[in-house]
Structure 1
Amino acid sequence: MARRFSQVDVFSDRPLLGNPVAVVHDADGLTDEQMAAFARWTNLSETTFLLAPTDPAADYRLRIFTTSGELPFAGHPTLGSAHAWLAAGGVPKDDGRLVQECGAGLVALRQSERIAFAAPPLVRSGPVADADLDRVARALRIGRDDIVDAAWTDNGPGWVSVLMRDADAVLAVEPDLMAFGDLDIGLVGSHPPGSEATVEVRALCLGTASSRTR
């Protein structure tokens, strides 16, 4: 059975400038192995599969795969998949509101000029242990004293968030991605007052390039 496939540039209204996600429509009937194989083939940070919901409160069900495994939830795949579902003719139960069923449960999205979602609760939060901070510093090729603060901010993908001295420090990081292991690291640092952007954010994880957001 042939299935429709979309690639969506999230966080941009111009082609080739967003954070891409591959979306497979009408994915019911695909096995876990087929989904994983297709995700490896796309070679994007995430590939998603739209399925019929099993919860009556949901508009659709979403499974999210990286090139190495499945995630219960992730942000830009949620936004891109909602866009693809609507563009393919999906009609939500409630006007202006979508409900996604995924591994993290039900995620509510608001549909207006832009799509936004209420993130599911964190599955891990709080301070980062010294041993993990040492791993973070090695992966980022920085000293421990370059880390102003760090905390687990994991609502599915497994992120640890790292506060840097400023935006320049964020941009200067040249990570060793192969040293990440199971770490996904988000970096944030402030721009000087009066700058075009308030903060600089980078998302770094094994096997992917840096994703930069301002």
Structure 2
Amino acid sequence: MNTGPSAAPRLRPFTQVDVFSAEAYRGNPLAVVVEAEDLETETMQRFANWTNLSETAFVLPPTHPDADYRVRIFTGSEEFPFAGHPTLGSAHAWLEAGGIPQRDGVVVQECGAGLVRVRRDGGRLAFAAPPLTRSGTVAEDDLMRVAAGLGLPREALLDASWLVNGPDWIGVLLESAEQVLGIRPDYAAMAGLKVGVIGPHGHGSAVQFEVRTFVPGDAAAEDPVTGSFNAGAAQWLIRSGRAPESYLAAQGTALGRAGRIYVEAAGEDIWVGGDSVSCIEGWVLL
């Protein structure tokens, strides 16, 4: 946290990036302030609230010798130690601003969750899923609330797990992508819970899974595309044998978006990737 007197506002490079989509305005937008080293926490939080996006990222000089840059990630009301689409969007913005990583092909991001590797595969970026800080059994009372919130009978929830790597996600597996897309959420019924739902597409589909994530009480109650949840879900599904080691997931369909999340297990790592497009570039007075 910054201490000392506030710096006078100045113009700083600003980018709004659409993440998890190769087509502009079909993914999940992220605001990125590229030169944020002298901003106070209160200023970052106030600006993140003002952007009215799910997250705003602030790029700073690293404090760890192995990191290429440091990022702080804010929602409209709180700071997250890690989030997926801000990781990819921040790396995209940092590279476009002229950032040069210490290692060819890999960007190392420092954030509240530690060091996160971001690999470059052509124009696409992918982050190594950070370890889950909480996983496993979800209490039956919570699952009853989740089922009510999804408008489904309890037995429709084939499995569930905590998938916490920043946000406190509860992951829920349904029988099919069609069931996922048919959800009409009751946010009041699952108030206080962050719920991600995943279901498989049929054989022959170019996309293997359909994903939706719900955050009751947030201004954006359904997130267009969610890197943190997909990172946790990939670890859960691949390691339990429910998903292949490489798959493509869709998210945002119900919102008119076309988010695509590329997942690949390689050795001990699970990589979560997607395309990013810069849609707004300019300056912001902070």
Q: Same fold (TM over 0.5)?
A: yes
> Paired residue for 1:193?
203
Deviation of 1:179 after TM superposition, in Å, equals 4.6
Where in structure 2 are the equivalents of 1:20-99 lying within 5 Å?
Answer: 20-99=29-108
Query: Aligned-residue CA RMSD in angstroms?
Result: 1.5
| CA offset digits 1:10-54 (Å, max 9, x no partner) | 111211111111111111111111111111111111111101111
Q: CA deviation at 1:118?
A: 0.7
2:57 counterpart SS class: strand
Instruction: Specify the code of the residue in structure 2 equivalent to 1:97.
Output: V
Larger mean CA deviation between 77-86 and 26-35 belongs to 26-35
Higher RCO (CA < 8 A, seq sep 6+): 2
Quick one: distance in 1 between partners of 2:120 and 2:189?
39
CA drift of 1:178 comes to 4.7
Amino acid at match of 1:196: A
TM-score, normalised on structure 1?
Answer: 0.94
What SS class does the counterpart of residue 106 from structure 1 fall into? strand
Query: 2 CA distance for matches of 1:151 and 1:176?
Result: 20
Tell me the distance in 1 between the aligned counterparts of 2:67 and 2:161.
Answer: 32
Q: 1:210 to 1:175 in 2, by over 3 A?
A: farther
Match of 2:185 in 1: 175
- How much does 1:210 deviate? 4.1
- Please give the secondary structure, in 1, of the residue aligned with 2:184: coil
Unaligned runs of 5+ in 2: 1-9, 225-250, 252-258, 261-286
Aligned to 2:276: none
For the residue of structure 2 that corresponds to 1:28, the secondary structure is coil
Amino acid corresponding to residue 37 of structure 1 in structure 2: R
SS of the residue aligned with 2:93?
helix
Per the alignment, residue 157 of structure 1 pairs with 167
The AA in structure 1 aligned to 2:68 is D
**In structure 2, do the counterparts of structure 1 residues 129 and 108 end up closer, same or farther at CA, with 3 Å as the change threshold?**
same
User: What's the offset of the Cα at 1:93?
Assistant: 0.9
Q: Take 1:56 and 1:179, find their aligned partners in 2: how far apart are those partners?
A: 46
The residue type paired with residue 134 of structure 1 is M
Q: Deviations over 1:59-81 (max 9, x none)?
A: 00011111121111011110011
Runs of 4+ off more than 6 Å: none
Q: Distance in 2 between matches of 1:108 and 1:195?
A: 30
How far is the alpha carbon of 1:180 from its aligned partner?
4.1
CA distance in 1, matches of 2:39, 2:102: 25
Query: SS where residue 11 of structure 2 aligns?
Result: coil
What aligned pairs does 1:74-153 form with structure 2 within 5 A after superposition?
74-113=83-122, 114-153=124-163
